[in-house]
Amino acid sequence: MLMLEGMCTAAEPTPGDPLAAEREMPPDTVPPEQPAGPQPLSKARQQLREMDRRLNVLENLMVGRGHGRGVMERGLGWSPEHEERGFALYSTDGRYRLHLNGGIQTQYNAFPRSRSSQDPGTAPDGFEFRRVRPILDFRIANYLRGQIMPDLAPRRRSELYNAFVDWDYYEWARVRIGLFKPALSLEKLQGEFDLIFAERSLVQNFVPFRDFGVQLTGSGFQRHIRYDLGVFNGSPQAIGPANFGAPSTDNNKHLLVRLMATPFLLRGPRALRQLQIGVGVMYGAFSNTAGQQPMLTMGQDRTIFQYRDTVTGDGFHTRVVPQMMWFWGRLGVTSLFVHTWEPKRDMVTGNSAVLQHEAFVVQGQFLLTDDEASYNRVTPKHPFDLTKPGAWGAWELAARYSQQRLDPEVFALNFSDSTQFAQMTKAFSAALNWYLNRELRLQCIWEHSDFKGANSSYSASGTDDVVISRFTILY
């Protein structure tokens, strides 16, 4: 029974409900007139007991009973639990929940340098919706929770990004099944509305984003160790910067293993309490597809590499991702490295090779105001309010350096066009972020990239710059 039903006089009577009689009585019904004169003492006591019973029922409904929370504590349609955004409906026993939230991002992309027609995948200056994502979270009893999240932004085709169910009864063994992010990379696992920069680093070009599969996650040793084990389809659109998953093109499956340690979580130097280090590995075969999306710059404004259509996977691919993140007060640091072994074959020429690509990123953030850096999002201690002195929200500076290097064999064997695509990309980012409150954020990000071709035939521009002004609203 939803909690709102308990407040509705027109609701269907529930068997055993002490207020059922009151609900069944029409609003205009007048109780039968009582005879005048003093009432017998036993009759008065009976009425007092009935009034006391009704008060107890109303108190249980409004305040709660035992461990269950009542209407007053929950709020009618508003979800205060864990400071969640959005609107929620709960059952009166708290075992069922629907939570509607989400976010919208709009931005303006400006290119200080003129765009060249020889540069692949470029776009002109302009406004755009980057993300329009309604999110529906739900809980079923004490064992299951899940999420459904589409993206309605016209920047790309509308897609269903998340659709999964979790069995999370035990902290040391939680199971997720559906369409979601494989837990290989800290950077990819970070929420899109929590990003410090406009997009992720060049490491995103080599790790999966979303895929269909099942994953077992847990923590132990007093939460010092976290593990992730997964099996995924290995869809052709899984590797790279795009968000959506696609159906598998073959019978191959991809295995994922990741271990993360928080060695100083409960003891040791306080400055290292939020230090996490670990490594993730993914292993699986591609046979009917190259298994690689077009690679993009960090601003996702230009294509920097793409295999020819005739190139396909030719066996088992391996991806190793060492990673770390550390937060201490106003300061936050994140770093990742990825190395891949990818057997490829050209179906026309018959050329084949095991290619080894790699990329890394180092980024830092610092809060100019008295606020704490965070992996999720910064929540200002003093939200912006012109009527209060010093209430300016949270201000943050951030910088990032990222680099990717492709195996020279990819161009020597003509697996890609050496005139358009770069063998080496170096990129730098700087950002100024203003968190007005928990729901509103303004960002100004500059992304600069330098490209180096594999040989003298490279004719695309050697540099790329984009300035992104972004506004985010969460609800």
pLDDT digits (tens, 9 = 90+) for 112-162: 887 776 788 888 889 999 999 999 999 998 889 999 999 998 765 668 899
**pLDDT of the residue at 5:** 38
Confidence of residue 72 (pLDDT cuts 50, 70, 90): very low
Residue 395: in which H helix or E strand, if any?
Answer: strand 394-405
What percent of the chain shows pLDDT beyond 70?
83
Amino acid letter, residue 216: L
The token duo for 449 is: 């990239």
Report the alpha-carbon distance of residue 258 to residue 265 in Å, rounded: 19
- Return the CATH architecture of domain 77-474: Beta Barrel (2.40)
Q: Name the more confident of 113 and 371.
A: 371
Q: How many CA atoms lie within 13 A of 403 on its CB side?
A: 6
pLDDT over 50 at 19, yes or no:
no
3-state secondary structure 76-144: CCECCHHHCCCEEEEECCCCEEEEEEEEEEEEEEECCCCCCCCCCCCCCCEEEEEEEEEEEEEEECCCE
pLDDT over 90 at 238, yes or no:
no
Work out the average pLDDT over 272-285. Answer: 97
What percent of the chain shows pLDDT beyond 90?
66
Work out the average pLDDT over 178-203. Answer: 95
pLDDT over 70 at 38, yes or no:
no
pLDDT tens across 294-321, in order?
999 999 999 999 999 999 999 999 999 9
CA nearest to 298, candidates 241, 337, 244, 245: 241
**pLDDT of the residue at 284:** 94
- Mean of the per-residue pLDDT values of the chain: 86
**pLDDT of the residue at 123:** 80
Confidence of residue 81 (pLDDT cuts 50, 70, 90): very low
Confidence of residue 58 (pLDDT cuts 50, 70, 90): low
Q: Which residues pair with 257 in a beta bridge?
A: 229, 281
Instruction: For 68-84, give one letter per residue: b (16+ CB within 10 A) or e.
Output: bbbbeebeeeebeeeee
CA nearest to 338, candidates 286, 290, 295, 397: 295
**pLDDT of the residue at 116:** 74
